A and B are shown apart, each in its own frame.
Chain A
Amino acid sequence: MPGPLRLTGISASAGYAEGPLFNLEPAAARYAGKATAADEKAALEAAIGVAAGRLAGLMETADDEAAGILEFQVAMLEDDALTGPAFAAIAAGQPADAAWRQALDAEIAGYETSDQDYFRARAADMRDIRDQVLRALTEDGEIAAPAGAIFYGEDIAPTRFLETDWSSGGGIALKAGSAASHVAMLARSRGVPMVVGLGVVGLGASPAHLAGIALLDAEHGGIVLSPSKAEIDAFRRSSRSFAARRDRAETYLQKPAVTKAGTAVRVQVNIADPSDVDGIDISTCDGAGLMRTEFLFGKTLPDEETQYRAYRKVLEWAGEKPVTIRTVDAGGDKPVPGFTVEEGNPFLGLRGIRLSLARTEVFRVQIRALLRAAVHGNLKVMFPMIAVMDEYQRAAALFAEEQAGLSARGVACKMPPLGIMVEVPSVAIAPEAFSGVAFFSIGSNDLTQYVMAAARDNASVAHLNSVRHPAVLRLIASVAAFGQAQGIPVSLCGDAGGDPASIPALLEAGLRDLSVVPAQLAMAKAAIADVAF
């Protein structure tokens, strides 16, 4: 029996699973070639029929979200424009599997090279379609996953997820993968534990490791292969505690967040897209602590009206509660064609407010949309990546200029309180330079990555990227203390705010205002209720 092997990744859907590993990448099954082109054509037609039939079967029990994905795949399979080139290649003498693969790879390449995120993400659906038909062509080698298995491999197809019966447990552990994928979304909504970014295993993972039982901890993002008895016991305790916390959390959703000692904590939500608020009852939170605006900056730069409508929608949803909108934080890992610049080290380059101040013609459009939207609710605006006070002053001056312009034209507008993100260490170390700002919002993701010099999207340095490192916590505590002394409100809007394991440390550091992703709202409130002071 090999010794335990622990791998760290990123949680894409919280939860725990214990079970056998099921390898998603068995040795490629072989397609048995046919004698004539007519037989090849018949084989491909049959395989497409089998794949379409399976999709139709899945649709019968699919919910809305899943049905949308499946319906798209069925429509693609039924389209002669997709299958035509494959049949043409067969007529020219190709075997069915090669013909199909070539035709689909050409389509997939078109999606992969798109400059729109949304379009690029559809490449995964096209690969799924390709592989379903290939599977049907090479049927015999197919092995079913045992109940409660942990699916392990490079990536997993949406249909594979949907045709799996998760009622007896199980989970997903991916070497690559993304928390933004279709499968990750489905996993979160079904409560299936999922970890991505486990990296290249093989280093130390013997066949015996992969054959044994595994413990998937998708709360913290890791997996243990061939665990020891002690590890299994500890894992089961964590798993039970997680289940109990999750059940209990639901009962906290409707209540205000308070600690055991009665300290009130404000809990707001992070909004990435205006449609996010459609599923959130405003009475369950204290407002929106972070509304991102990058979604507006997709393929083209958004016009003033589009932005105004998006901001107004969220402000009207929140009513009297505050909505803190962050001016566009492009650059870094969020490039925008026609706006951001190519850089060798984008996280330390022209991103956030630096880019907005360099491209004021784009920034002014956003400013006007914000000033106009401000009359429809309780708006606050914050600037990302502020490093020196001069940046804040220049941004605030642009707001004043645009307000004067709008007022002169008789357009309804209002100046919102202007605050800053605290994410560049210079601000956290010397906050006294910023006593003139309306509020601070700590961006714990970037602050942690800059303080620890460890990229948050790089699994090989993930162990360094902890908000609970004393260096990070000390900075947070000093900003909180400075804010309190100066009467400047301080909140936190990074992922740490919704992490039950980090919440006690954040409250201890003096924070009383956290903003979390909507899916973590209940758990965050429950975790606050567990804090003693």
Chain B
Amino acid sequence: MSASAEATVLITHEVGLHARPSVKFTKLAKTFSAEVEVALAANGPWFDAKSIVKVMAAKAPKGTMLHIRARGDGAGEAVDALVELVRRDFDEGADHARTA
């Protein structure tokens, strides 16, 4: 068993991969048994996608190309699901409205 997968996706969410989006992202990553990592560049550094502390530490603002890679059982599904979540703007749309 040495399945592996990798993909890139553009972050369009207003505040980037922060707070609420990062909660959703790490929660989804944890549903897969594969080892999942994210990076802001193809050559790393890579961060554990299941740790909100590490994902927040990546400081990925809006407009960042996010690299996602996975290794192990269900690696392909994990990468697909996470890419899809980022593409759907973390299912937030207008949800991150600010009070003036």
Contact = CB atoms under 8 A, between A and B. Distances in A.
A273 B94 CA distance: 11
B52 A75 contact: yes
Interface in A256-285: 270-273, 275-276, 278-279
Contacts of B16: 118
Give the size range of B's interface with the partner.
20 to 34
A80 B51 CA distance: 8
A304 B22 CA distance: 27
A300 interface: yes
A71 B95 CA distance: 15
Interface residues of A, number: 38
A7 interface: no
Interface string A97-112: 0000000000100100
Interface in A88-136: 107, 110, 114, 116, 118-119, 122, 125
Contacts, number: 75
Interface in B43-86: 48, 51-54, 56-57, 59, 61-63
B99 A188 contact: yes
Contacts of A110: 57
Interface in A272-325: 272-273, 275-276, 278-279, 298-300, 303, 306
Contacts of A118: 15-16, 18
B1 interface: no
B100 A278 contact: no
B100 A519 contact: yes
B7 interface: no
Interface string A484-523: 0000000000000000000000000000000001110000
A194 to B, nearest CB: 13
A107 B16 CA distance: 19
Given A118-B18, A275-B14, A299-B61, A76 B98 contact: no
Interface of A: 64, 68-69, 71-72, 75-76, 79-82, 107, 110, 114, 116, 118-119, 122, 125, 185, 188-189, 270-273, 275-276, 278-279, 298-300, 303, 306, 517-519
20 contacts: A64-B95, A68-B19, A71-B20, A71-B23, A72-B19, A75-B27, A75-B52, A76-B52, A80-B51, A81-B51, A81-B53, A82-B53, A116-B61, A118-B15, A122-B18, A189-B99, A270-B100, A272-B98, A273-B98, A275-B98
